[in-house]
Amino acid sequence: MNILVTGGAGFIGSHYVRTMLEGGHPGFEEAHVTVLDALTYAGNRDNLPATHPRLTFAHGNILDRELLAGLLDGQDAVVHFAAESHVDRSIADGAAFVRTNVEGTQALLEACVAAGVERVVHVSTDEVYGSIEEGVWSEESPLLPNSPYAASKAGSDLIALAYVRTHGLNVSVTRCSNNYGPYQHPEKFIPLAVTNLLEGRPVPVYGDGGQIREWLHVDDHCRAVQRVLTGGRAGEVYNIGSGTAVANLTLARRLAELCGVGPEMVRHVTDRKGHDRRYALDQGKIERELGHRPLTEFGAGLAATVAWYRDNPGWWKPVKHAAGRP
Ligand code: NAD
């Protein structure tokens, strides 16, 4: 089994790859993994083993069609994580989001068709559904993205589904809620808060902090992606949620507590433009069809994540302070 993983040097992709190389995905203990990653500011070669007999690392862009043709030759499956992934950056400049998330996904899927790849999973996000005041989004809910990031991911989802109908490519789409865990870039909420607190700085919380997100440990996300890869149906979308809904302010205060400081270290800042108020997923389909359930309890997962950042300043300090950032 040969499997190509795009974005495998990022937060979630690298967790997926490390798990596979450690034999953590049943049936894939002998699989050869090729990671294709552009190593943008978010990609980090140190997230993957420097040498491993079942890993090939290709430094390149999913927009490079010639490179894709060469790499996809002989691949049985593709798991597509590569993306521009930070909402704030998409507000400051959305162009890279359209290029990588929309054009890049199209280039990758076209190359998969040409190479005869048998199975593809396109990894997407709950943010494509937009904000929901109450209740939950199912896979049948309309796509109502609000940020340029979410809109570019929604565009990529539609392209993926079109490649099923038009070209018969065997693609499934996953839409996951907010992830947390080790190796997440310190620009994202939980690692930003924890690394700030570990350096004695306050935690910025947008607006009133009442925005509600559903949090899932990265390991549960990766196990779900693997379930979809092996058992999901072509042209189907699978929500991946946790049912653990937490307001940002509550989470920031909890992180302060876990870092041994008081709630005064949490500071309100001007709200993000177009900030979605609440995300919530119906995760019944993946549970019914593929038997997937999250395993990591939020309190335990969060404490372990804080401990990981406390124990690994050598990983996050260079990333956080890259290019002279304070
Ligand atoms: P990340 O930003 O940590 O990693 C993205 C990776 O993609 C990086 O290694 C980067 O170098 C690579 N990349 C970016 N542009 C590329 C390009 N043009 N060609 C090749 N490689 C490129 O992101 P993440 O948090 O690991 O997210 C992975 C996927 O999961 C994304 O598709 C994201 O939309 C989705 N997702 C993330 C979350 C979350 O909470 N982080 C939740 C749901 C879905």
pLDDT tier, 289 (very low <50, low <70, confident <90, very high otherwise):
very high
Task: For 195-240, write each residue's pLDDT tens digit.
Answer: 999 999 999 999 999 999 999 999 999 999 999 999 999 999 999 9
Which of the following is catalytic: 149, 163, 180, 279? Answer: 149
Q: Which atom of ligand 1 is nearest to the CA of 174?
A: 44
Q: What is the mean pLDDT of residues 283-312?
A: 98
Mutation probe of ligand 1 site: the residue of 81, 108, 244 with most atoms within 8 A of C-beta: 81
Predicted confidence at residue 87, as pLDDT, reads: 94
Task: For 76-113, write each residue's pLDDT tens digit.
Answer: 999 999 999 999 999 999 999 999 999 999 999 999 99
Closest CA to 68 of 77, 58, 76: 58
Q: What is the mean pLDDT of residues 150-175?
A: 98
pTM above 0.95, yes or no: yes
Task: Note the CATH number of domain 189-211+244-322.
Answer: 3.90.25.10
Q: What is the mean pLDDT of residues 259-274?
A: 93
Q: Is the pLDDT of residue 155 over 90?
A: yes
Specify whether 206 is catalytic: no
pLDDT tier, 11 (very low <50, low <70, confident <90, very high otherwise):
very high
Predicted confidence at residue 23, as pLDDT, reads: 97
Predicted confidence at residue 326, as pLDDT, reads: 57
Q: What is the mean pLDDT of residues 47-73?
A: 98
Q: Which atom of ligand 1 is nearest to the CA of 86?
A: 2
Please write down the long-range contacts of 192-197, taking CB distance under 8 Å and 24 or more positions apart: 193/251, 193/252, 193/255, 193/256, 194/255, 194/258, 194/259, 194/305, 194/306, 194/309, 194/310, 195/309, 195/316, 195/320, 197/255, 197/256, 197/259, 197/261, 197/265
Task: Out of 103-112, 136-145, 314-323, pick the least confident.
Answer: 314-323
Which of the following is catalytic: 16, 37, 84, 127? Answer: 127
Which of the following is catalytic: 16, 37, 84, 126? Answer: 126
Q: What is the mean pLDDT of residues 258-272?
A: 94
Predicted confidence at residue 323, as pLDDT, reads: 64
Ligand 1 mean position, distance from CA 264 (Å): 33
Closest residue by CA, ligand 1 atom 13: 82
DSSP string for 226-283: HHHHHHPPTT-EEEE--S-EEEHHHHHHHHHHHTT--GGGEEEEPPPTT---B--B--
Q: What is the mean pLDDT of residues 55-60?
A: 98
Q: Which atom of ligand 1 is nearest to the CA of 8?
A: 9
Ligand 1 binding pocket, CB closer than 6 Å: 6-7, 9-13, 36-40, 42-43, 61-63, 81-85, 100, 104, 123, 125, 153, 176, 178-179, 185
Q: Is the pLDDT of residue 310 over 70?
A: yes
Closest CA to 89 of 13, 176, 187: 187
Specify whether 187 is catalytic: no
Q: Which atom of ligand 1 is nearest to the CA of 12?
A: 26
- The mean predicted confidence, pLDDT, of the chain is 96
Predicted confidence at residue 322, as pLDDT, reads: 86
Predicted confidence at residue 325, as pLDDT, reads: 65
Structural domain boundaries in the chain: 2-176+217-240, 189-211+244-322
Q: Is the pLDDT of residue 59 over 80?
A: yes
CATH architecture of the region 2-176+217-240: 3-Layer(aba) Sandwich (3.40)
